[in-house]
């Protein structure tokens, strides 16, 4: 447990005034020094929420928790890696950063770069970034370049840019990104008092599953947990290169955050699967949306579609979960990232064009 979390105790939640951001909270676990200018928006310390409705669908005494990283400052887990990447870029004297993005990375890169006084350039696949994410990047002041091509082409371009021009790449090929993201595993262990039996997580570029595995391993080596979880990675069926074992040239899925056909962290993710005895599985868009609705309608948790892939995958593999197991499903982003999906995919009653009178309103309500 980090010194700050030890001070509060596992049962005590840190107040916003006390939480210093993940770099200061886990400083001894991260490659920073007194010379590192910490660029932070007080990211981290996201809740681990019990999910009884999900657990009830599995039964057999299984408990399920949701690691809801959609409550980070820009609404996704990308803030964890970006506080590290931008802080180290600032330390190195960098003046501009660049990334390719399906949305969340661009939002985080823009926010932290501007916080640190750096220029931010983001390449996005034109027409395939949810409106909430695009709005963030623009408001944070990024210079957005929309290309006629998919994420994988955008990533190739920014890698070439960073190799040829004085601009720092902050996609997850940047090693500091995964260093920041590994702190989510620390928080899970700190909250549970142990590692979960299963860690279910969506996979796009596969940096997050790699970072979680790194974090669990580091805590285990330090004696902070006595076991390691099975790493269960889930991809959308139309964008499942790690499940299929080959690049997907034209990935398609409603879960735009994981619409990636050639993940740059492929080898790290495969190692996490092998070393943990885990598994990779694809889930259909229909299964993702069913889980998305379940989380909102029964757990009261609004996540973006890609996040729901972790729960969809868990439910698809429910029979394999050991009796009495503790499962953590990672929810990588906030539902407000993609409002169009929410409007198009819900079972709510939405009564429109009503006369503004008490009898009419009461009648619709059933009184």
Strands (E), the chain: 48-50, 63-68, 96-100, 119-125, 143-147, 168-169, 198-202, 230-236, 279-283, 326-331
| pLDDT tens-digit readout, 34-80 | 999 999 999 999 999 999 999 999 999 999 999 999 999 999 999 99
Q: Is the pTM of this model over 0.95?
A: no
Query: What is the overall mean pLDDT for the chain?
Result: 93
Structure confidence by residue, pLDDT tens digits, 275-298: 999 999 999 999 999 999 999 999
> Alpha-carbon torsion 333, 8, 213, 168, what sign?
positive
CA angle 75, 349, 293 (to 5 degrees): 40
Angle between helices 104-115 and 131-139 (to 10 degrees): 10
As given in the structure block, the two tokens for residue 183 are: 């702190």
Across 223-283, the runs of DSSP E, i.e. the strands, are: 230-236, 279-283
**Which of 237, 303, 235 shows the shortest CA–CA distance to 269?**
235
Find, among 331, 311, 310, 207, the residue nearest to 260 by Cα.
207
- Give start and end residues of each alpha helix (H) in 250-304: 266-276, 285-294
Q: pLDDT tens-digit profile of 149-163? A: 888 899 999 999 999
Which region, left, alpha or beta, applies to residue 64 given φ > 0 means left and ψ of -120 to 50 means alpha?
beta
In angstroms, the CA 100 to CA 147 distance is 10
Is residue 77 a contact partner of residue 84, using CB atoms and an 8 Å limit?
A: no
Q: How many beta carbons lie within 10 A of that of residue 147, not counting itself?
A: 14
């Amino acid at each position: 447990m980090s010194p700050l979390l030890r001070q509060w105790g596992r049962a005590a939640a840190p107040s916003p005034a006390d939480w210093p951001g993940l770099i200061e909270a886990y400083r001894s676990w991260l490659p920073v020094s007194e010379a590192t200018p910490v660029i932070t928006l007080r990211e981290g310390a996201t809740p681990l929420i019990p999910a009884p409705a999900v657990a009830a669908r599995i039964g057999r005494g299984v408990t399920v928790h949701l690691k809801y990283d959609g409550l980070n400052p820009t609404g996704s887990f990308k803030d964890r890696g970006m506080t590290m990447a931008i802080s180290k870029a600032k330390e190195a004297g960098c003046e501009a950063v660049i990334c390719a993005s399906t949305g969340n990375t661009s939002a985080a890169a823009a926010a932290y770069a501007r916080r640190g006084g750096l220029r931010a350039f983001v390449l996005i696949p034109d027409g395939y970034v949810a409106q909430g994410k695009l709005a963030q990047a623009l408001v944070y002041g990024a210079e957005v370049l929309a290309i006629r091509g998919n994420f994988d082409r955008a990533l190739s371009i920014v890698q070439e840019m960073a190799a040829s021009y004085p601009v720092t790449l902050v996609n997850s090929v940047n090693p500091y990104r995964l260093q920041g993201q590994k702190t989510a595993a620390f928080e899970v262990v700190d909250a549970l008092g142990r590692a979960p039996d299963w860690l279910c997580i969506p996979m796009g570029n596969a940096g997050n599953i790699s970072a979680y595995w790194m974090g669990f391993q580091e805590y285990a080596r330090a004696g902070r947990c006595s076991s390691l979880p099975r790493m269960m990675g889930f991809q959308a069926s139309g964008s499942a290169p790690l499940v299929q074992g080959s690049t997907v040239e034209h990935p398609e899925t409603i879960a735009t955050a994981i619409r990636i056909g050639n993940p740059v962290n492929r080898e790290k993710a495969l190692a996490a699967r092998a070393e943990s005895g885990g598994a990779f599985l694809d889930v259909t868009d229909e299964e993702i949306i069913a889980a998305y609705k379940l989380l909102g309608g029964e757990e009261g948790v609004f996540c973006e579609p890609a996040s729901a892939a972790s729960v969809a995958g868990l439910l698809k593999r429910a029979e394999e979960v050991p009796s009495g197991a503790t499962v953590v499903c990672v929810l990588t982003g906030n539902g407000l990232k993609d409002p169009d999906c929410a409007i198009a995919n819900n079972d709510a009653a939405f009564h429109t064009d009503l006369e503004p009178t008490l009898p009419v309103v009461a009648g619709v309500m059933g009184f």
